[in-house]
Structure 1
Amino acid sequence: MRVDGTSLHEVLLMTPEAFHDDRGWFTRTFDTAIFDQAAVDAGIDVRSGDFTQDSQSRSRRGVVRGMHGRGGRGEAKLVRCARGSVVDVLVDIRPGSPTFGQQAMFELDDELHAHLYVPPGFLHGFQVTSEWADVCYRIDRPHEPGEDLGVAHDDPDLGIAWPDPVTVVSQRDRSAGSWATLRATLV
């Protein structure tokens, strides 16, 4: 498994190797030793044993889920696309971070099998770019609805350039707040 840093402080992209033969392919989707060593090397406090919950969503082309975050001590997660393809977007909302307010896009799909490590303190969202996509999340603590944060996917201050026309957004995401309002509460 190859582990690469990204343009966002403490965000890692982990790409496993797939082994192909006449049956199809096999890949290791997670390895605690590799993750833990990458975390140590990057100065990240989260370890593989800290993850407590796995979740999965299925969405169709054009759907946007996001932009979601957590208050309190935040939430670390590993995100991967097990079926189809998505464009995953992160926004650093950690005051004092060298990449505060910056965003980055990552293509996740069922061909490269890459995982995105998202440290606590990020807004996260994605758009489905295939007919259907299954996105898997490994999260380091149980969901606490009272800590949910959200910014509208089309907030002009964020200016996220979604790759395709947005087809479906949940009511919760349509009524999400603005980046300006959230930012004022963080600094």
Structure 2
Amino acid sequence: MRIEQTDLADVLLLVPQPFRDDRGLFTRTFDADEFDAHCGVPGAAAAFVQDSQSRSARGVVRGMHGRSGRGEAKLVRCAHGAVHDVLVDIRPDSPTFGRQQAFRLDDEDFRHLYVPPGFLHGFQALTATADVCYRIDRPHDPGEDLGVAYDDPELGIDWPQPVTVVSARDRAAGDWARLLGALGVPGAR
């Protein structure tokens, strides 16, 4: 597995090296020793405590979600189909605060993301169905949910397909300015 830096501070792109033959393929989607060595933190991979999976139809958008408090680190990959995955840095002290980056995650090259605490995350399903797997470093606490509407003009996320379905929760999510105020960013309302 190759591990690459992204344009966002501390976000890593994990790139498995599939072995393909006439049977199909085999790939290692995660290697704790390689992850720990790259991060320079022995045992960092052992912090992941919960796995979840979602299935979405083409055009569905899930996001933009984050966590308050200590935040939540996660590994995100698309096990079936393809998604347009978007991250936004919401760490006020980060050199990439407020910036976003999009990634195509799919079941062909198996790239996946390490997302440290302090990011909004969302995706759009690009195929008839898309299964996204999440491995997170602490149990989910709904009381720490943060969100910004997927279509907030301040974020200006360019979703590649028409948006077909969004949850009521995501439609009701606040805007970027309100999130900045909740994070205590100076000058935010």
Please report the TM-score for the alignment, with normalisation by the length of structure 2. Answer: 0.95
Size of the alignment, in residue pairs?
Answer: 184
Using the TM superposition, give the Cα deviation of residue 32 of structure 1 relative to its aligned residue in structure 2, in angstroms: 0.4
Q: What secondary structure sits across from 1:35 in the alignment?
A: helix
Using the TM superposition, give the Cα deviation of residue 45 of structure 1 relative to its aligned residue in structure 2, in angstroms: 9.1
Alignment partner for residue 181 of structure 1, among 161, 178, 182? 178
Give the conservation status (yes or no) of the 8 Å contact 1:39–1:46.
no
Q: Which residue of 2 aligns with 1:22?
A: 22
Q: How far apart in 1 are the matches of 2:39 and 2:134?
A: 18
Q: How far apart in 1 are the matches of 2:164 and 2:78?
A: 19
Alignment partner for residue 168 of structure 2, among 161, 171, 174? 171
Flag the 1:173–1:18 CA change in 2: closer, same or farther, 3 A.
same
Overall identity of the aligned pairs, in % = 69
Q: What secondary structure sits across from 1:100 in the alignment?
A: coil
Give unpaired runs (5+ residues) of structure 2. none
Q: What secondary structure sits across from 1:184 in the alignment?
A: helix
Give the conservation status (yes or no) of the 8 Å contact 1:19–1:27.
yes
Alpha-carbon RMSD: 1.1
Alignment partner for residue 70 of structure 2, among 48, 69, 73? 73
Q: How far apart in 1 are the matches of 2:36 and 2:60?
A: 33
1:103 aligns with 2:100: yes
Alignment partner for residue 79 of structure 2, among 79, 82, 87? 82
Flag the 1:86–1:45 CA change in 2: closer, same or farther, 3 A.
farther
Q: Give CA deviations for 1:57-98 in whole Å, capped at 9, x if unaligned.
A: 000100000000000000000000000000100000001100
Flag the 1:92–1:131 CA change in 2: closer, same or farther, 3 A.
same
Give the conservation status (yes or no) of the 8 Å contact 1:46–1:76.
no
Give the conservation status (yes or no) of the 8 Å contact 2:36–2:42.
no
1:38 aligns with 2:38: yes
Q: Which residue of 1 aligns with 2:130?
A: 133
Q: Which residue of 2 aligns with 1:13?
A: 13
Counting only pairs closer than 5 Å after superposition, residues 146-161 of structure 1 correspond to structure 2 as 146-161=143-158
Q: How far apart in 2 are the matches of 1:168 and 1:18?
A: 33
Q: How far apart in 1 are the matches of 2:108 and 2:52?
A: 20
